[in-house]
Chains A and B, each alone.
Chain A
Amino acid sequence: EVQLVESGGTLVQPGGSLRLSCAASGFTLNNFWMTWVRQAPGKGLEWVANINQDGSEQYYVDSVRGRFTISRDNAEKSLYLQMNSLRAEDTAVYYCARARIFTSWPNEELAYWGQGTLVTVSS
């Protein structure tokens, strides 16, 4: 069974840093593009970033580019999101998600999702 479990969400001050983790099980991580999606309180889903199978290719939404870094450790079966210079508007539930199938191009058919981890940026 495919499982994705996010962790690392907490309360952090503006300007601070945080690293989110997503533990993957039930499939071979290095076969799939992986994605982070977030949902701010009372708002809709927002795509944040994705990364290809070997980590050599990443894409980001403009609002986080230069502040957030997506990475992965296939041997550890984990996906990460390093978040720096955090702002109040980064407050959200962060989900990791897996592409439906293997592709060599960015695949945003997100067939599997974790339950999310809450990041709150506030003083």
Chain B
Amino acid sequence: SVLTQPPSASGTPGQRVTISCSGGRSNIGSGTVNWYQHLPGTAPKLLIFSNDQRPSGVPERFSGSKSGTSASLAISGLQSEDEADYYCSTWDDSLKGAVFGGGTQLTVL
């Protein structure tokens, strides 16, 4: 993938976990990053848009940030229901299309 994410992450209930997303100048470096939560068999859900904005209804436990050509999703106060796949995404000016990261499978131990 054009955007690089760790394939897996884990934490215990109540912990804070972060998921990284690394890209380049033509994608993260020149645009904004969105994050999605995806549970198998369901529709993906927009979690964070424009780097650090939460749609209404998304808990404050979820936060996003971007610096240079990298972005991060942080989940604080981890809950069992947060166990899902998480994807970063942005527009790539060189490819003239959007790109997703490879996804990070989050396990709540």
**A residues adjacent to B (C-beta < 8 A):** 35, 37, 44-47, 49-50, 59-62, 95, 97, 100, 106, 108-111, 113-116
Does B11 touch A at the CB level, under 8 Å?
A: no
The reply to whether B46 and A110 contact each other, CB–CB distance below 8 Å, is yes
The reply to whether B34 and A109 contact each other, CB–CB distance below 8 Å, is yes
A101–chain B nearest beta-carbon distance, Å: 9
- Find chain B residues with CB under 8 A from A110 CB: 34, 36, 44, 46, 89
- Find chain A residues with CB under 8 A from B34 CB: 108-110
The reply to whether A113 and B44 contact each other, CB–CB distance below 8 Å, is yes
A24–chain B nearest beta-carbon distance, Å: 14
Partner-contacting stretch, out of B17-25, B64-72, B73-81, B90-98: B90-98
Does B85 touch A at the CB level, under 8 Å?
A: yes
Cα distance A109–B99 in the bound complex, in angstroms? 12
Cα distance A97–B50 in the bound complex, in angstroms? 17
Chain B: interface size category: 20 to 34
The reply to whether B1 and A44 contact each other, CB–CB distance below 8 Å, is yes
- A45-B97 contact, Cβ under 8 Å, with A95-B44, A108-B90, A111-B46: no
| Contact of B43 (CB < 8 Å), options: A47, A50, A115 | A115
Cα distance A72–B70 in the bound complex, in angstroms? 34
- Find chain B residues with CB under 8 A from A100 CB: 46, 49, 55
Cα distance A121–B42 in the bound complex, in angstroms? 22
